[in-house]
Structure 1
Amino acid sequence: MPESRRRKPKKQTQSTTTSQARRSRPPSPPWFGGLILAFFLIGIVYLLVYYFSNGGVLGMEALGGWNILVGFGFVVIGLAVSTQWR
């Protein structure tokens, strides 16, 4: 039975050296996870206070329905920050 030829090892090209030059980002600092949780919790607590007080808290009265946007805004910021976590 015939034996297949052995392949020669590939020479290192520039494409492999440039990929080695790229280094991955270092891991996130320890406080980064707390920041993500803080944004989530602030948004959820803000929405709960708005709903349970029927908007009667000082400062929330003037915003009216925009309070929902503020609460969900904190949650969305928390989601955006969580995509940068390594």
Structure 2
Amino acid sequence: MPESRRRKPKKPTPSVNANQTRRSRPPSPPWFGGLILAFFLIGIAYLLVYYFSNGGVLGMEGLGGWNILIGFGFVVIGLAVSTQWR
């Protein structure tokens, strides 16, 4: 039975030029952690006020079920901002 040819392993190709160095990004400013916490706390507080008042707070009455989306929206924005923290 004939034997198949053996393949030579491929040599890795450098994706970055040897002369270029990768610069690390500077750390986040000190207020960035507070911004993350603020988004989380605003979202949670909004949801708690909505649930405990049964939507009876002025301005929340007309929004109905959108109040849940607004509260979770703040929490999701806080998560998105937290991924950029260094």
Equivalent residue, structure 1, for 2:18: 16
Distance 1:34 1:16 in 2: 39
In structure 1, distance between residues paired with 2:83 and 2:24: 15
Point out where structure 1 has 5 or more consecutive residues left out of the alignment. Answer: 1-13
The 2-side partners of 1:37 and 1:49 are apart by 18
- Between the aligned residues of both structures, percent identity stands at 87
Give the TM-score of the pair, scaled to structure 1.
0.79
Indicate the residue corresponding to 2:28 in structure 1: 28
Q: TM-score, normalised by structure 2?
A: 0.79
Structure with greater proportional helix content: 1
1:16 partner amino acid: A
SS at match of 1:84: coil
Do structure 1's residue 46 and structure 2's residue 62 form an aligned pair? Answer: no
CA–CA distance in 2 between the matches of 1:56 and 1:16? 64
